A and B are shown apart, each in its own frame.
Chain A
Amino acid sequence: MNKIASIIFILFSLLSCSSDDDNNTVSFSLNFSHNWDGTPVTNADFNTIKFTNAEGDQLSIERLRYLISDIKLEKSNGETIIIEAYNLVDVTNNQNLIFSPTATISEGTYSKVSFIFGFKNEKNLDGVYPDLNTVSWNVPAMLGGGYHYMQLDGKFLNSSNMEQGYNYHAIRAADNPGANPTFPQDTFFEVNLGSVTISNNAVFNIEMNIAQWFKTPHTWDLNVLNQMLMPNSAAQIMMYDNGQNVFSLKSVDQ
């Protein structure tokens, strides 16, 4: 499956407002790693109740995969590079943790590097990406169709001290499930990695603090919100809120 989950289409568009004198081009990659409030997390840490969230719930992770798209690099002179690609990071199976677009970028200082967590609405089209369909990443049409942004599954110790499953699945928030769902607010979001100076082939080391999904601003109580969260637009908006500070740029290797 590792052959399929990376790029279905890559469009490289260079929208430049002025000529640029940095002619050297380099390649770059996004390298995703994960932690729980600073403690590294890999799939070797899965399937054991070893994490504690801000609410005090003890939990395990059994499955974690998420989608990022539309990498954008902006210079202060207005030059903007948009790489219209997507990557399904599959932590469970250690697949696609490094995403290397085929497009190259010019050296220089970028005032802002960003990507989208999930899909922008105009890209979140139902059933159009065969590689994502193949791994059953779809969202039911009754909720607007398109694709998941994230699947974080595991178990927690509930108030009866019994293991119980949770499915922290992030999608586009939807109300009125059915033929004509409505969308109370967008729940994809831009991850701003800040300013970066590129002088060589570069690897952006990006961290996801998984604990943050349960922390700020909403302290997540798994006893209350654990399953059937996809049709729960309020829960989706809480995920969106908590996701704002999940990602950070740890370093750039070049």
Chain B
Amino acid sequence: MFFICFSCTNEKVDTYSPTPSALQIPQLFGDKIINPVIPFDNPQTVEGIALGKKLFFDPILSADNSQACADCHKPENAFTDPDRFSDGINGTLGTRNSMPLFNLAWNYDEAFFWDGRAFSLEHQAFNPVTDPIEMASTWPEVEQKLQDHSEYPTLFNQAFGTSKIDSSLVTKAIAQFERTLISSNSKFDKYLLGETSLTPQELNGFNVFMDENRGDCFHCHGSENNPLWTDNLFHNNGLDAIITDLGLGEVSGDPADNGKFKSPSLRNLAFTAPYMHDGRFATLDDVIDHYSEGLQDSPTIDPLMKKVAQGGVQLSPQDKADLKAFLLALSDYEFINNPAFKNQ
């Protein structure tokens, strides 16, 4: 992307040359999984990322200038909301827990939201701005406010070569920033890189995770060979016997998808409570208890759910504690403290 306006002597020369800014792919990601998804029409640039960050933290995107993306996607919570349901500008609560945001460029199928209703990170960002229970604005209003702003026209020009602001450029910039939200420095990452060791409890917890006779977590959440800790696919994990929130089924229209929601990454669980698509579990212990004794059967429950008739995999108290210790070792404190991801 390179655009130059050549001009004659007394005219201003307007140069559009954003600085490429390739994603910094962590070693384990580069070694273990395929390359991230970067749309050809929205390459990462220094200017685009900076603009996206400013927009992410700016309440100007909401109808009454009171709410930014970061209000429901807080950096200290790995970009989720510690509240079960987020409230929009009118105080109305949503029905699902805000999703954490990291390693989004490795969502290869590019299906976003708990129910996968948005294809691509760029399209995902369109939704909250106009959702009446979130920012409750309209894109023409947002575009006009940004256009009238003292800084944004220049920033868009630097990022995209035009000072005429439209919604697609807003979402492109936000998506560029979001793709930089890479989490790869948990204790377990460092263990895999030979930089630290795990406690016996964490090691046993990892074995519980990988043992089909005990936790059997790996079929949906991967292993030491997949640093994403999610398959980014949709499963009914046995939360309800009667399904009221159809999840993926609402999007696909296929009854076989009813009650299916995206597998979240298990990174950063120390910061992302409450858990599940509806934030029903306040603690990690609640989550482990669910898979151990709390499974609810339903027609679309994933066959990977084990021992459903008994309520789950029946972990011992020790295995539960060890599994929890391992899961917490996937939390990345450097990520939530990274100044590049904070509003400063």
Residues of chain A at the chain B interface (Cβ within 8 Å): 1, 4, 46-47, 62-63, 126-127, 130-131, 133-136, 138, 140-142, 153-155, 162-167, 177, 227-231
Given that A4-B108, A140-B210 are known contacts, is A165 also in contact with B218, CB under 8 Å in the complex?
A: no
The contact string, 1 if C-beta is below 8 Å from chain A, for chain B 212-229, is 110010111111111000
Within 8 Å CB of B226, what residues of A?
133-134, 136, 138
Within 8 Å CB of A1, what residues of B?
108-109
B306 and A228 within 8 A (CB): yes
Within 8 Å CB of A138, what residues of B?
218, 222-223, 225-226
B34 and A134 within 8 A (CB): yes
B225 and A126 within 8 A (CB): yes
For residue B251, CB closer than 8 A to chain A, the reply is no
12 CB-based A-B contacts, threshold 8 Å? A1-B108, A4-B108, A46-B256, A63-B303, A133-B32, A133-B226, A134-B108, A136-B220, A140-B223, A153-B303, A163-B299, A229-B212
A232 CB → nearest B CB, Å = 9
Residue ID in chain B nearest A168 by CB atoms: B303
A162 CA to B33 CA, complexed, in Å: 39
Within 8 Å CB of B223, what residues of A?
136, 138, 140
A228 CA to B215 CA, complexed, in Å: 11
Residue ID in chain B nearest A152 by CB atoms: B303
Closest 3 CB pairs of A and B: A165-B303, A127-B225, A47-B256
Within 8 Å CB of B218, what residues of A?
136, 138, 140
Residues of B contacting A: mostly: loop
A247 CA to B40 CA, complexed, in Å: 41
A127 and B224 within 8 A (CB): yes
Given contacts A135-B231, A165-B305, A230-B212, 7 further A-B contacts (CB under 8 A): A62-B302, A130-B31, A131-B34, A133-B33, A153-B303, A165-B301, A165-B304
A130 and B212 within 8 A (CB): no
Within 8 Å CB of A4, what residues of B?
34, 108
Within 8 Å CB of A153, what residues of B?
302-304
Within 8 Å CB of A131, what residues of B?
34
A141 and B210 within 8 A (CB): yes
Within 8 Å CB of A141, what residues of B?
210, 224
A167 CA to B308 CA, complexed, in Å: 13
Within 8 Å CB of B299, what residues of A?
163
A13 CB → nearest B CB, Å = 25
Within 8 Å CB of A230, what residues of B?
212
Within 8 Å CB of A63, what residues of B?
303
For residue B138, CB closer than 8 A to chain A, the reply is no
A142 and B307 within 8 A (CB): no
A155 and B303 within 8 A (CB): yes
A172 CB → nearest B CB, Å = 14
Residue ID in chain B nearest A155 by CB atoms: B303
Within 8 Å CB of B31, what residues of A?
130
B210 and A127 within 8 A (CB): no
For residue B83, CB closer than 8 A to chain A, the reply is no
For window 23-79 of chain B, which residues contact chain A by CB distance below 8 Å? 31-34
A62 and B303 within 8 A (CB): yes
Given that A4-B34, A165-B305, A228-B306 are known contacts, is A136 also in contact with B207, CB under 8 Å in the complex?
A: no
Q: Which of B218, B220, B224 has the most CB of A within 10 A?
A: B224
For window 203-252 of chain B, which residues contact chain A by CB distance below 8 Å? 207, 210-213, 216, 218-226, 231
Q: Which of A63, A134, A142 has the most CB of B within 10 A?
A: A134
B206 CB → nearest A CB, Å = 10
Residue ID in chain B nearest A151 by CB atoms: B219
For residue B309, CB closer than 8 A to chain A, the reply is yes
The contact string, 1 if C-beta is below 8 Å from chain A, for chain B 276-306, is 0000000000000000000001011111111
A114 CB → nearest B CB, Å = 29
B256 and A227 within 8 A (CB): no
